[in-house]
Amino acid sequence: MPYEVWNWRFFGLMWLTGNRPVQDWFDLLPEDAKNEARDTFSYLEHLPIAAWKKPKFDPLKGEEVTEVRFETKSHVYRIYGYYGPSELGRQAYTLLYGHDKKLGNDAHGKREGTKGKRAIEAGQARVHKFEFYRAPTPPDWDEPA
Protein backbone atom coordinates (compact mmCIF):
# COMPACT_ATOMS: atom_id res chain seq x y z
CA MET A 1 0.00 0.00 0.00
CA PRO A 2 1.52 3.36 -0.99
CA TYR A 3 2.28 5.95 1.64
CA GLU A 4 -0.34 8.72 1.65
CA VAL A 5 0.98 12.26 1.72
CA TRP A 6 -0.97 14.65 3.95
CA ASN A 7 -0.97 18.33 3.06
CA TRP A 8 -3.80 19.92 4.96
CA ARG A 9 -5.08 23.23 3.68
CA PHE A 10 -6.47 25.66 6.23
CA PHE A 11 -9.40 27.96 5.60
CA GLY A 12 -11.33 30.49 7.66
CA LEU A 13 -15.00 31.35 7.96
CA MET A 14 -16.00 34.33 5.82
CA TRP A 15 -19.47 35.82 6.15
CA LEU A 16 -21.14 37.01 2.95
CA THR A 17 -20.44 40.59 4.09
CA GLY A 18 -16.72 39.81 3.71
CA ASN A 19 -16.10 39.72 7.48
CA ARG A 20 -13.41 37.17 8.39
CA PRO A 21 -13.82 36.77 12.16
CA VAL A 22 -11.11 34.19 12.88
CA GLN A 23 -8.59 35.90 10.58
CA ASP A 24 -9.31 39.27 12.22
CA TRP A 25 -9.01 37.72 15.70
CA PHE A 26 -5.75 35.97 14.77
CA ASP A 27 -4.25 39.13 13.24
CA LEU A 28 -4.73 40.97 16.56
CA LEU A 29 -3.10 38.28 18.72
CA PRO A 30 0.25 39.04 20.38
CA GLU A 31 3.20 37.82 18.33
CA ASP A 32 4.03 34.99 20.76
CA ALA A 33 0.47 33.63 20.41
CA LYS A 34 0.63 33.87 16.60
CA ASN A 35 3.89 31.94 16.65
CA GLU A 36 2.39 29.21 18.83
CA ALA A 37 -0.63 28.96 16.51
CA ARG A 38 1.65 28.76 13.46
CA ASP A 39 3.71 26.03 15.13
CA THR A 40 0.57 24.07 16.05
CA PHE A 41 -0.94 24.21 12.57
CA SER A 42 2.45 23.46 10.96
CA TYR A 43 2.63 20.36 13.17
CA LEU A 44 -0.88 19.23 12.14
CA GLU A 45 -0.41 20.10 8.46
CA HIS A 46 1.31 16.85 7.44
CA LEU A 47 -0.35 14.43 9.87
CA PRO A 48 -3.20 12.06 8.99
CA ILE A 49 -6.49 12.66 10.81
CA ALA A 50 -5.82 9.73 13.14
CA ALA A 51 -2.70 11.50 14.47
CA TRP A 52 -4.54 14.73 15.34
CA LYS A 53 -4.72 14.21 19.12
CA LYS A 54 -4.56 15.95 22.48
CA PRO A 55 -3.13 18.20 23.69
CA LYS A 56 -3.08 20.14 20.38
CA PHE A 57 -6.38 18.78 19.05
CA ASP A 58 -9.64 17.55 20.55
CA PRO A 59 -12.39 15.99 18.41
CA LEU A 60 -15.04 17.02 21.00
CA LYS A 61 -17.24 13.93 21.14
CA GLY A 62 -20.87 14.60 20.36
CA GLU A 63 -20.13 18.02 18.83
CA GLU A 64 -20.26 19.16 15.19
CA VAL A 65 -16.95 20.99 15.61
CA THR A 66 -13.45 20.15 16.77
CA GLU A 67 -10.92 22.17 18.77
CA VAL A 68 -7.31 23.14 18.10
CA ARG A 69 -5.44 24.38 21.19
CA PHE A 70 -2.24 26.34 21.66
CA GLU A 71 -0.82 28.34 24.52
CA THR A 72 1.66 30.96 25.60
CA LYS A 73 3.06 31.58 29.08
CA SER A 74 0.01 33.63 30.02
CA HIS A 75 -2.89 32.34 27.88
CA VAL A 76 -4.48 29.22 26.45
CA TYR A 77 -6.22 29.68 23.11
CA ARG A 78 -8.85 27.63 21.29
CA ILE A 79 -9.90 27.62 17.68
CA TYR A 80 -13.03 25.68 16.79
CA GLY A 81 -13.19 24.23 13.31
CA TYR A 82 -14.17 21.27 11.19
CA TYR A 83 -12.92 19.04 8.40
CA GLY A 84 -14.37 20.63 5.32
CA PRO A 85 -16.19 21.94 3.48
CA SER A 86 -16.35 18.72 1.49
CA GLU A 87 -16.16 20.42 -1.92
CA LEU A 88 -12.57 21.43 -1.07
CA GLY A 89 -11.44 17.81 -0.74
CA ARG A 90 -10.60 15.63 2.18
CA GLN A 91 -7.56 17.53 3.41
CA ALA A 92 -9.32 20.82 4.16
CA TYR A 93 -9.88 22.16 7.66
CA THR A 94 -11.86 25.36 8.31
CA LEU A 95 -11.31 27.63 11.32
CA LEU A 96 -14.69 28.87 12.57
CA TYR A 97 -14.23 30.64 15.90
CA GLY A 98 -11.19 31.56 17.98
CA HIS A 99 -10.65 32.98 21.46
CA ASP A 100 -8.84 32.73 24.79
CA LYS A 101 -9.65 29.62 26.79
CA LYS A 102 -11.43 30.68 29.94
CA LEU A 103 -13.61 27.72 30.84
CA GLY A 104 -13.22 23.96 30.97
CA ASN A 105 -16.41 23.46 28.96
CA ASP A 106 -16.73 26.32 26.51
CA ALA A 107 -20.37 26.01 25.44
CA HIS A 108 -20.36 29.51 23.87
CA GLY A 109 -17.32 28.79 21.67
CA LYS A 110 -18.75 25.45 20.53
CA ARG A 111 -22.07 27.14 19.71
CA GLU A 112 -20.38 29.88 17.70
CA GLY A 113 -18.27 27.33 15.83
CA THR A 114 -21.32 25.19 15.06
CA LYS A 115 -23.22 28.28 13.88
CA GLY A 116 -20.40 29.09 11.45
CA LYS A 117 -20.22 25.51 10.14
CA ARG A 118 -23.96 25.39 9.54
CA ALA A 119 -23.87 28.78 7.80
CA ILE A 120 -21.19 27.53 5.39
CA GLU A 121 -23.18 24.38 4.69
CA ALA A 122 -26.34 26.45 4.06
CA GLY A 123 -24.56 28.86 1.70
CA GLN A 124 -24.92 31.75 4.16
CA ALA A 125 -21.13 32.01 4.54
CA ARG A 126 -18.05 31.00 2.56
CA VAL A 127 -14.46 30.19 3.33
CA HIS A 128 -11.20 31.96 2.51
CA LYS A 129 -7.63 30.70 2.55
CA PHE A 130 -6.41 31.30 6.09
CA GLU A 131 -3.29 33.46 6.26
CA PHE A 132 -0.96 32.64 9.14
CA TYR A 133 1.51 35.25 7.85
CA ARG A 134 0.13 38.52 6.60
CA ALA A 135 0.72 42.20 7.07
CA PRO A 136 -1.82 44.06 9.18
CA THR A 137 -4.62 45.62 7.17
CA PRO A 138 -4.24 49.40 7.00
CA PRO A 139 -7.11 51.57 8.25
CA ASP A 140 -9.81 52.55 5.76
CA TRP A 141 -9.24 56.29 5.78
CA ASP A 142 -7.30 58.71 3.68
CA GLU A 143 -4.21 60.29 5.12
CA PRO A 144 -4.35 64.09 5.44
CA ALA A 145 -2.44 65.94 2.75
Q: In what order do the strands lie in the sheet with 92-100?
A: 57-58, 66-71, 76-83, 92-100, 9-15, 125-129
Nearest to 130 by CA among 39, 23, 2: 23
Tell whether 53 is covered by a domain. Answer: no
d(CA 112, CA 16): 16
Confidence of residue 40 (pLDDT cuts 50, 70, 90): very high
Q: Is residue 142 part of a domain?
A: no
Q: Is residue 4 part of a domain?
A: no
Give the model's pLDDT for residue 6: 87
The answer to whether residue 112 is domain-embedded is: yes
In this prediction, residue 140 carries a pLDDT of 63
Q: What is the mean pLDDT of residues 86-107?
A: 87
Rounded Cα distance between 85 and 33, Å, is 26
- How does the average pLDDT of the chain come out, rounded? 90
Q: What's the structural domain count of the chain?
A: 1
1 in a structural domain: no
User: pTM higher than 0.75, yes or no?
Assistant: yes
Residue numbers of the domain that contains 88: 9-47+60-129
Q: Is the pLDDT of residue 136 over 70?
A: no
Residue 76 has pLDDT above 70, yes or no: yes
